[in-house]
Amino acid sequence: MTPVRTAIRAGKKDWNIDTADLQNRKHKTKNIKPLTMRVTTIIAFTILLFGCNQQQDTKQLQLRIDSLEKKVNDAYKPGLGEFMADIQLHHAKLYFAGKHAHWKLADFEIKEIMEALDDIKTYATDRPESKLVPVMLGPAIDSLNDAIVKQDTTQFGKRFIILTNTCNNCHKAVHYEFNQVKIPTTPPYSNQEF
């Protein structure tokens, strides 16, 4: 081969190498662009997805709150009259327990009345009279409870009358005087020992 041809060849070869190199670089630059674009797309998609997910989560949460709210509103709540009927029963049981100096039972029954008073405060909030119940009954209940703790039958009898009068005073004050409570003459149940 002549040196010129060799040179040409070499040049061609160089040129060839250059072309390959160029193509290689071109290839690389071609690859860089889509990569950045891909990353950007992924980030954008993640943000979008995250945003969508968050929106979805908030929507789901709101639905759950709405359904729970409905359940709470529809849940059965005893009214003031039902608590009164409950108090009436314990009022009668309490009387016979105290009369027969059955102090453990008397203590139990007066606590039942106290619990009902607490429940009225919590559940019967729709009635304006509810706030009056513990205010009016509190002192009478406390002094009757004192007689139970002291196991004093005489005091118990007197204070039970005061409690009963207080019930009626409130009924009068709130125009329910036709619900007149009195000292019971017979035990409310025949199947319980008082």
Given a contact cutoff of 8 angstroms between Cβ atoms, the answer to whether 70 and 115 are in contact is: no
Per CB under 6 A, does 124 bind ligand HEC?
no
Sequence-separated (6 or more) residues with CB below 8 Å from residue 105: 93, 97, 194
What residues numbered 25-54 form the site for ligand HEC, per CB under 6 A? none
Minimum distance of ligand HEC from residue 191's CB (angstroms) = 21
> CB-based contacts of 109: which residues, under 8 Å, 6+ apart?
90, 93, 94, 97
Binding mask 153-182 for ligand HEC (x = CB under 6 A): ----------x---x--xx--x-x--x-x-
Residue 114 sits in the site that holds ligand HEC (CB under 6 A): no
Query: Which one among 78, 86, 88, 100 touches ligand HEC, defined by CB under 6 A?
Result: 88
For ligand HEC, give the closer residue by CB, 105 or 181: 181
Binding ligand HEC by CB under 6 A: which of 80, 97, 105, 110?
Answer: 80
Residue type, 83: F
Binding of residue 147 to ligand HEC (CB under 6 A) = no
Helices in the chain by DSSP H: which ranges?
Answer: 3-74, 80-99, 103-123, 132-149, 153-173
User: Judged by CB under 6 A, does residue 117 bind ligand HEC?
Assistant: no
Cα end-to-end span (Å), the chain? 133
**CA-based nearest residue to 160, from 105, 85, 95:** 95
Interface residue list for ligand HEC (CB under 6 A): 80-81, 84-85, 87-88, 91, 129, 132-133, 136-137, 163, 167, 170-171, 174, 176, 179, 181
